[in-house]
Structure 1
């Protein structure tokens, strides 16, 4: 009986982890993506979305990096494109919170919408199956950032192919 309860708990935990991961396009039973894309397509998906964000917000980008990130803890396919956009901090945490709220509203005016299914400490928005997380300012990071996550549909990238590279946006 204990084994059955333990297995049920493990199965439930795995299901919750899959749901929280944001990779809803992945079939967790056979580790395949519906309608797979190439690494170039997964890159273009997030670069286009990040460019839209930067242009909409007239964001002063300090640096931006792209990489392919695995959608599971094993570092295996499927992968998705991901971008981190760093921009200057606000003068205070309160000012940062206000700016982020204004930024989120501007993005919502341009077709982005809240995504309650993607769990984060930041402000989460989604458009065209791409998720953007406007991270809160914190004392341990000299800059604020926006993380942009594409869909988990790249089945050909491998662990060795996911090194960060600088990108120019806007």
Structure 2
């Protein structure tokens, strides 16, 4: 499954740059704040939904966070990432997200989705850390080739706001 192929046929109701960004950034903020992700940082970029790099585009967020520590063993140890992903999914499902990917998609990792946003949880980017990648709908028709908006910009401060 290539996540960039998500929802590529829905350009009939296009999203502005601001709407496409808000779609995934708001979802990332919701996850970060409801779960209280430790040491979270993240970035946003527009991604083309095809192999040619042309419209349509979608918003994408990548958040990385430190795994919490588990004191139950009598010493600080990292929580099992898969168990923590299950806790994140359960929290988000309790707040209206759906468990699993949107219909017809089969990405690798633990997946939840809501309102056109798919969140994929996976291990990495380094030991003790995990990530959540969020992909919005392919409904932004602005041609972002050469405008710098396909480069990642930091959104860490937004992930910490309550």
Fold-level similarity (TM above 0.5): yes
As a proportion of its length, which structure holds more helix?
A: 1
Tell whether 2:105 aligns with 1:118: yes
Secondary structure in 1 matching 2:15: coil
Asked if 2 retains the 8 angstrom alpha-carbon contact of 1:20 and 1:119, the reply is no
Q: Which has the larger radius of gyration?
A: 1
Tell whether 2:121 aligns with 1:134: yes
Task: Name structure 1 gaps, 5 residues minimum.
Answer: 1-15, 27-32
Separation (CA, whole Å) in 1 of partners of 2:154 and 2:39: 12
For this pair of structures, how many residues does the alignment match?
A: 145
1:109-154 deviations in whole A, cap 9, x for unaligned?
111112253322211111111111111x25x634210011111000
CA RMSD of aligned residues (A): 2.3
Tell whether 2:138 aligns with 1:152: yes
Cα 1:133–1:153 change in 2 (3 A) is same
Tell whether 2:61 aligns with 1:83: yes
1:79-130 deviations in whole A, cap 9, x for unaligned?
00000010013645x7111111111111111111122533222111111111
Tell whether 2:41 aligns with 1:55: no
Counterpart residue number, 1:23: 7
Secondary structure in 2 matching 1:80: strand
Counterpart residue number, 1:164: 152
Bigger RCO of structures 1 and 2 (CA < 8 A, at least 6 apart): 2
Separation (CA, whole Å) in 2 of partners of 1:80 and 1:122: 20
Cα 1:42–1:108 change in 2 (3 A) is same
- The runs of at least 4 aligned residues of structure 1 exceeding 3 Å deviation read 89-92
Secondary structure in 2 matching 1:42: helix
Instruction: Report how far residue 64 of structure 1 moved.
Output: 0.5
Relative to the length of structure 1, the TM-score reads 0.76
